[in-house]
A and B are shown apart, each in its own frame.
Chain A
Amino acid sequence: MTTLPPSVPSAPAATEVHAKVFGATEHLAPAAAKVDVPVERMKQWLRDMLLIREFEVRCMQAYQEKKIGGFCHVYIGQEAVAVGCTAAVEHRDPIVTAYRDHGHALARGMDPKYCMAEMFGRIGGCAKGKGGSMHMFDRDNNLFGGHGIVGAQTPLGAGLAFACKYMDEVIDGKPSSRVALCFLGDGALNQGAFHEALNLAGLFDLPVIYVVENNGYSMGTAIARGTTMAHSLVTKAAGYGIDGYVIDGMDVVDVYAEMKRIADRCRATSRPAFVDMRTYRYKGHSMSDPRKYRTKEEEEVFEAEDPIGKLQRRLQAAGQLGDDEFKAMQKAVRDQVREGVAWSDASPPPPLEELFTDVYLEPWGPYTGSAQPAMNGGTVNPAGFKTIDTKEELS
């Protein structure tokens, strides 16, 4: 076990920029300077963040090459949030998120090739090419989407928590043992669905953690231009009787340490939590965003706090990460993503029969039932579709 030196505090000029983007910063929890995390675990987080970064860079490239269509929102800059949060919960805890979802899929353990093939619109994709960039689902890794409508996932998150608790307590007759993680952007704070979800979570004691990935902008609108009490989002949660926390989302160790504490409490008390996770997206809202609503200087301040560079420097300062090892790490993720792109290129488009599968589980009329994607061991050959037959159950 090694205790790392704390993160270097931000320069005063940077603090001013933070205050400009997020409002006052006095609620920020103190950095978790002393967390006993094995070095190997931190290295895994570094690899995970590097993988997401590399994957997203390749996505942008593929988008320019028109291999990816529609909308595409990359996660560059926010990697510490998905990696730190997923590390803080158990694999059996369900996760649901919004449309900037590639990072969550990878952090949850989806092989990048399935994620990339989905964006390429290929049968090998996690949803057989039917969902696209905004709709990443992974049943075996308990990722319940990828949701394209802002705030739509927040009642779903309450439902995941409701089901976890109901299954444990009502069906199995044992104490509630899981927590649900529901990610949302700061723009979702102004949707009615979010407020209804928080009220229900508070009312029904649901073990759900709402993690607001507060990157300061909903598309091109600075948070204070669209959201009241932007400097103190936790007061919104307080209105629903839900404890709120502010976390530095640019530091994966902080994210992990704080989220672990919150998740443990949520699991033990079956009470919801709300997190104002301060982060920054380095790229535009989507691929077509020229970012004219903010300054280069502002971006540079946050780039200096890059979560990958920060962890890399900390590990190196502690003598735990050699240059060669880091380079090998970079090469490994580059190779992995490159292989994923090649695999996606080689994957055929979905056969036309796929148009009418997965509309209903029970086949009727033109609808042929449902089949799992290759990722879950399903066949890509429509002739071998495993349709779910409920006739027996209905008899």
Chain B
Amino acid sequence: MTALREIEFRDALREAMSEEMRRDKRVMLMGEEVAQYNGAYKVSRGMLEEFGPRRIIDTPISESGFAGMAIGAAMMGLKPVVEFMSWSFSLVAADPILNNAPKMLYMSGGQFGCSVVFRGNDGAGGQLGSTHSWCVEGLYSNVPGIKIAIPSNPYDAKGLLKTSIRGSDPVFFLESERMLGNKGHVPEEEYLIPFGQAAVIHEGTDCTLASWGRPVHFCMEAAEELKKQGISCEVIDLRTVRPLDVGTVVRSVRKTSACVVVDQSWSFGSPGSELASQVHRHCFDDLDNYVHRVHSADVPTPYATNLEQEYLPNARKIVEAVRSATYNL
């Protein structure tokens, strides 16, 4: 028996794009440095060679322009994948990505869909300072008409990205610079992962930990530590925040009676606050304590290493939150 194939997160992303491009000529990739440079983070390495410059397109630093161009092309029936080197740069493309992509179908009364995928690095990359460390899901999950995927591992990244490209609606696909080198099992054979289906990645009985993207790993670290302290955690990876699979979290909380939501975006009006609110509503009689939340600190992202570490969610903060949420144990 051969060992399970393990590849990096960035390779999983590239496999997803390349497979979909081989399958459908309407799919192409555009963005800054995606072609000749092989991608600022090497996600698109080798794609120019395989698909040529008509389908792997280097754009100038002009996010508003090329995001809008991709949306226009999608209205005509193409299926562009747009790489934002960082989602922080998507803020200068706010009008096309928030005013055009999510609303075109509605405003045209069903006449023009917009099958476009915007993808790139989200969240703190490590000492990049405040302007380059956005967790845009805090802002963008507020907008109906888009779907948002935030995978935590290579397997999910590939399956969710293929679903994003093959689907019919606009998708914001949020990756993390800090995870692109993470390795994980990705099978050779094709698979797709549907949106809105959370994964219970660690079963437990005392407290539900709900998260997505990079903080899922902090939740697993915290669960290990808490196990030593005699507290059994159930860890749920939501995988997409629009749709948000509240049902899986609710079923878990009805079992554990305690819940901690971990979200790297700021706390005020975030996917984490939405999930906590929904858990409160659906598990009002099941909870032993209020739903605790661990977010990034409510300040601009700092540069200094120690401040940045203190700013981000981490295992220590999650352990503290779980201890508080399960005070009665």
Contact = CB atoms under 8 A, between A and B. Distances in A.
Contacts, number: 181
Given A156-B100, A370-B105, A372-B110, A166 B28 contact: yes
Interface size, A (range):
35 or more
Contact of B72 (A135, A137, A155, A170): A155
A378 B78 CA distance: 23
A373 B109 contact: yes
B70 A159 contact: yes
A96 B76 CA distance: 12
Contacts of B105: 358-361, 370
Contact of A159 (B57, B75, B111): B75
B281 interface: no
B7 to A, nearest CB: 23
A362 interface: yes
A323 B100 CA distance: 47
A170 B68 contact: no
A109 B179 CA distance: 52
A307 interface: no
Contact of A357 (B65, B75, B78, B110): B110
B78 to A, nearest CB: 5
B215 interface: no
B297 interface: no
B168 A137 contact: no
B73 A162 contact: yes
Contacts of A365: 196, 243
Contacts of A346: none
Interface stretch (A195-203, A215-223, A330-338): A195-203
A169 B107 contact: no
21 contacts: A127-B109, A127-B110, A139-B108, A147-B100, A152-B95, A155-B72, A156-B71, A162-B69, A163-B76, A166-B28, A170-B28, A193-B68, A200-B62, A200-B66, A360-B105, A360-B169, A362-B167, A362-B169, A370-B110, A372-B109, A394-B192
Q: Top 4 A-B pairs ranked by shortest CB distance?
A: A159-B72, A155-B68, A196-B65, A127-B109
Interface of A: 94, 96, 125-131, 135, 137-139, 144-147, 149, 152, 154-160, 162-164, 166-167, 169-171, 192-193, 196-197, 199-200, 203-204, 357-362, 364-365, 370-373, 376, 378, 388, 390, 393-394
